[in-house]
Chains A and B, each alone.
Chain A
Amino acid sequence: MTRRIEMDSGLMKAALWTGVALVAAMILSQGILMHFIGPPSPDLTAQELAQKFINRTGEIRVGCLIMCMFWGFWATWSMAITVFIRKMEKGYPILTYCSIALNGGGYVFFILIPMTWAVIAFRPETLDPAIMQIMNDWVWFDYLFTWPPFAVWMVIIGLAILKDHNVPALYPRWVAYLNFWCAILIFPAGLIVFFKTGLFAYDGVGAFWMPFFVFFGWMVAMTLTTFQAITRHRRTLEVKAGIAADTSARAL
């Protein structure tokens, strides 16, 4: 009779891989196809902006389809981490529920981005450039200005890690502090409402590039440390279930 542990590490890892796919799809679709890594300047005229959509209509449409498909994976990726938040907190699962609520909304903001671009690219020649400009601004605000729920989730992850009662702990404690730091570092994305040029416009180094690299770098770091956590926790569960002990006994 094979003894099973209560964690399906295969599915947990698959959920993490969807996050990797999300980042890869972004590079392909938003970057290579749409040329939108590096937003267009908010200082462009409506006509100049409209021309960008007219010039790359095909690429934008395909890119949006790909991005829409993969950016829903924010939900699955974040739930792998949420399962561990559940494991780390004791008692009533307030941090877990906050995590689910924040990320259940999070993926909606994510897929509204390619969806809106697709709508702009649907009739770019006949759509009023002024309307396209508003919609394009809207997308970049959806991309950047919506940073707070993600920062709150980072703080929640950090809190869960610091309060982890498992022995051995699921995550090393520095990951908690990394989360607190990243929550602060993406704050400048909120400054885009004040500027159309310069460091803190939505194409600026301070408001776009820094939060962009921080956010996706944080995703990479969380993916790697969660993979390690799965491996570590699986071993713990196996020892607890007596499976690992059995294996070592058989090896003797």
Chain B
Amino acid sequence: MVTLPDAEVAPRTPRPGRRVPHVPGEPGAWIFILGDMCVFAVFFSVYLIQRGHDPGLFAHSQGELNRNLGALNTIFLLVSSLLVVLAVRAIREESLRHLASRLFLGAIGCGGCFIVVKAFEYHEKLAAGITPATNDFFMYYFVLTGLHLFHLLFGMAVLTVLWRFARQEAPLSHYKLAFVEGGACFWHMVDLLWIVLFPLLFLVR
């Protein structure tokens, strides 16, 4: 395992009973997360503008979507985010560290469930002859959910790395802890994107 030089960065020791306020993760991670959210905001805005041009078509096509599956996926991601929050908390406390890896595994499992449901949902559409080229609404549906799915896959790879970190015997170096926090924030972003995406595509009339 690579150990990064901690000498350059002094770990902050909290006063007894006080938690040191700090921004989770590293600055670079926030460039990534906030930048990505901006790109998605642009996509969402474009969707809303296009919807304004043809509200009838969009409303009618929206009726073909399976809201139950969408809601189920929302629950999976919310649970996974909760597990990640608990895992990050556990990884910091010596007494709870052994739980962290299992919590991360649980989050990965929830992500896997999301993928299965998504595959089912896509299959349902394609079997009914609905493709990205069917009309504008379905172009946005497939592209936006597809982009989100790609982020989710990336996020699952990150969670796997965090799971590996949680399993190591030695306490985590400063940089690894920062990566854990940053990675957890990325997963929360994936969750947040879905929480905006689901009502936008499935619910808003």
Contact = CB atoms under 8 A, between A and B. Distances in A.
A195 B26 contact: no
A92 interface: no
Contacts of B26: 173-174, 177
A184 B133 contact: no
Nearest to B27: A174
B11 interface: no
A200 B31 contact: no
A200 B32 CA distance: 23
Interface residues of A, number: 27
B143 A187 contact: no
A1 to B, nearest CB: 33
B8 A167 contact: yes
Interface of A: 90, 162-165, 167-168, 172-178, 180-181, 184-185, 187-188, 191, 194-195, 198-200, 206
Contacts of B142: 194
Contacts of B28: 172-178
The binding surface of chain A is classed by DSSP as helix
Nearest to A176: B28
A191 B31 contact: no
Contacts of B143: 188, 191, 199-200, 206
B35 interface: yes
B163 interface: no
B132 interface: yes
B140 to A, nearest CB: 9
Contacts of A164: 4
B132 A195 contact: yes
Given A162-B179, A167-B5, A174-B26, A184 B31 contact: no
Contacts of A172: 28
Interface stretch (B85-93, B112-120, B146-154): B146-154
B133 A195 contact: yes
A195 to B, nearest CB: 6
